[in-house]
């Protein structure tokens, strides 16, 4: 017998007063003695456990692993907590399992290796841990949900802020456009008043003078005034066409008509009409080699653009100068250049030249509305074309339009 009666009495005296279960196991893994707490913990009478194998208190599925751990412990016996890093379970007499915590203390009794195990039922702790985990999980879920809701709210607020910013920007843009339109209306009325008044005065004066030149020898003077009236009427007609073009472009009511036609037809028409506007000694150099060129484009638009460019070249060039028209194929496009030897465009103002109603400082003494180039550029871009220019003040300008051969 490993334990003498006296030693058992001492063990019982010491262990019955503590709340933890105590069991002493010999080297054969049999329970030598237990305290009342341990017996009650596992649902046995103390006498039922004495000399019984320890595995009686261990669930069946852990028996093999327990044997391995015991062998290892006996080889490296030291005081420690059993099952560190893993969960331990005990099995009661009725077969129910419960979580335990076990502390081990090896010692020698009558020369035999024994182990005293202190067993604690940690069911309450595990239940509290479970409840704590549930609470933590629930809290984490709530935090996650609130965070998600908060993010969604923030996103909605950001969207609303962005929407309001866009609305504010649209309002600002509308106000800006409204101011611009008011400015344009003011400029328009001023231009109409000036541009119509001057040629109408010329027409009225020439009409009155024609009536006075009734003699045959005064025929030359009559023809001069007839030419003046024709020129002024044509000028007024061009202004009206420009204003109508602006209105159609603004409202999106432009209907383009793409047809095939000889390029020479349009250039002939433009040059013929421009000849009536030429100053003393001015000439227009007709392009060479265009008789066989056929293009698919809007004929009226091309005539309007070329008329604008040629008329500008005449208007802003002095007497005894040349206006050159040059036609150059470029891949699938064709380039038409109009060059003059006129006043040119100041470098600092060149970036504004296509802006509606803009007129360069050195051109203000000449009649003009400042909308011709803007209209030309808008029409060309709508039809897949382009317009560019090079200019040097007091030397002249070259405007180039590039349009596709076909649509």
State the average pLDDT for the chain. Answer: 82
Q: Give yes or no for residue 88 having a pLDDT over 70.
A: yes
Q: Which residue has the higher pLDDT, 18 or 283?
A: 283
Domain with CATH 3.30.565.10 in the chain: 255-404
Q: Which residue has the higher pLDDT, 364 or 55?
A: 55
pLDDT tens figures, 185-211: 666 555 555 555 556 666 666 666 666
Tell me 287's DSSP state: P
pTM over 0.85: no
Three-state SS at 75: helix
Task: Note the pLDDT of residue 236.
Answer: 66
Task: Note the pLDDT of residue 112.
Answer: 81
Q: How confident is the model at residue 371 (pLDDT cuts 50, 70, 90)?
A: confident
Task: Give, in words, the CATH class of 255-404.
Answer: alpha beta
pLDDT tens figures, 319-341: 999 999 999 998 889 999 999 99
pLDDT tens figures, 117-175: 899 999 998 899 889 999 988 888 888 888 888 888 898 989 999 999 998 898 898 88
395: tokens are 């030397």
CATH superfamily of 5-121: PAS domain (3.30.450.20)
Task: Note the pLDDT of residue 190.
Answer: 59
Q: Which residue has the higher pLDDT, 259 or 250?
A: 259
Segment 65-81 mean pLDDT? 65
Q: How confident is the model at residue 76 (pLDDT cuts 50, 70, 90)?
A: low
Q: Are 58 and 102 in contact (CB under 8 A)?
A: no
Task: Note the pLDDT of residue 1.
Answer: 41
Three-state SS at 324: strand
Q: Give yes or no for residue 82 having a pLDDT over 70.
A: no
What is the Cα–Cα distance from 345 to 397, expressed in whole angstroms?
Answer: 7
What is the Cα–Cα distance from 251 to 120, expressed in whole angstroms?
Answer: 91
Domain with CATH 3.30.450.20 in the chain: 5-121
pLDDT tens figures, 163-180: 999 988 988 988 887 787
What is the Cα–Cα distance from 384 to 333, expressed in whole angstroms?
Answer: 10
Task: Note the pLDDT of residue 199.
Answer: 61
Three-state SS at 389: strand
Task: Note the pLDDT of residue 72.
Answer: 66
What is the Cα–Cα distance from 298 to 260, expressed in whole angstroms?
Answer: 9
Tell me 291's DSSP state: T
Task: Note the pLDDT of residue 225.
Answer: 65
Segment 368-374 mean pLDDT? 77
Q: Which residue has the higher pLDDT, 236 or 389?
A: 389
pLDDT tens figures, 211-240: 676 666 677 776 776 776 776 676 666 666
Q: Which of 90-104, 235-249, 381-395 has the lowest mean pLDDT?
A: 235-249
What is the Cα–Cα distance from 233 to 237, expressed in whole angstroms?
Answer: 6
Segment 270-283 mean pLDDT? 92
Q: How confident is the model at residue 85 (pLDDT cuts 50, 70, 90)?
A: very low
Three-state SS at 270: helix
Which residue is listed with tokens 């204003």? 243
First-residue to last-residue Cα distance in the chain: 115
Which residue is listed with tokens 């009206």? 240
């Amino acid at each position: 017998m490993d334990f003498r009666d006296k030693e058992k009495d001492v063990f019982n005296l010491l262990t019955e007063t503590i709340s933890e279960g105590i069991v002493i196991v010999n080297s054969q893994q049999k329970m030598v003695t237990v305290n009342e707490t341990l017996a009650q913990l596992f649902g046995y009478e103390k006498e039922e456990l004495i000399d019984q194998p320890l595995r009686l208190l261990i669930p069946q599925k852990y028996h093999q692993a327990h044997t391995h751990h015991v062998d290892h412990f006996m080889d490296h016996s030291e005081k420690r907590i059993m099952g560190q890093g893993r969960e331990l379970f005990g099995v009661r007499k009725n077969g129910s399992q419960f979580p335990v915590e076990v502390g081990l203390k090896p010692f020698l009794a009558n020369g035999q290796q024994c182990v005293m195990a202190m067993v604690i039922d940690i069911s309450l702790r595990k239940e509290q841990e479970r409840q704590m985990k549930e609470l933590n999980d629930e809290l984490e879920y709530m935090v996650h949900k609130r965070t998600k809701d908060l993010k969604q709210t923030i996103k909605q607020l950001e969207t609303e802020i962005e929407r309001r910013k866009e609305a504010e920007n649209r309002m600002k843009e509308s106000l800006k456009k409204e101011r611009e339109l008011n400015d344009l209306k003011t400029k328009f009325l001023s231009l109409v008043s000036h541009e119509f008044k001057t040629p109408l005065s010329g027409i009225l004066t020439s009409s009155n003078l024609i009536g006075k030149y009734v003699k045959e020898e005064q025929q030359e003077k009559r023809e001069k005034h007839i030419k003046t009236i024709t020129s002024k009427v044509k000028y007024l007609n061009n202004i009206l066409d420009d204003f109508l073009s602006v209105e159609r472009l603004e409202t999106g009511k432009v209907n383009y008509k793409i047809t095939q036609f000889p390029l020479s037809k349009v250039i002939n028409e433009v040059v013929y009409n421009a000849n009536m506007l030429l100053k003393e000694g001015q000439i227009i150099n007709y392009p060479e080699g265009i008789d066989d060129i056929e293009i698919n484009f809007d004929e009226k638009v091309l005539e309007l653009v070329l008329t604008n460019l040629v008329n500008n070249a005449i208007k802003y060039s002095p007497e005894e100068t040349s206006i050159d028209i040059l036609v150059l194929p470029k891949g699938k496009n064709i380039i038409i250049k109009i060059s003059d030897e006129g006043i040119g465009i100041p470098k600092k103002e060149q970036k504004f030249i296509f802006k509606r109603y803009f007129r360069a400082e050195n051109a203000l003494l000449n009649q003009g509305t400042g909308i011709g180039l803007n209209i030309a550029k808008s029409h060309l871009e709508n039809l897949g074309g382009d317009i560019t220019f090079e200019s040097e003040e007091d030397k002249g300008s070259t405007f180039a339009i590039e349009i596709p051969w076909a649509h």
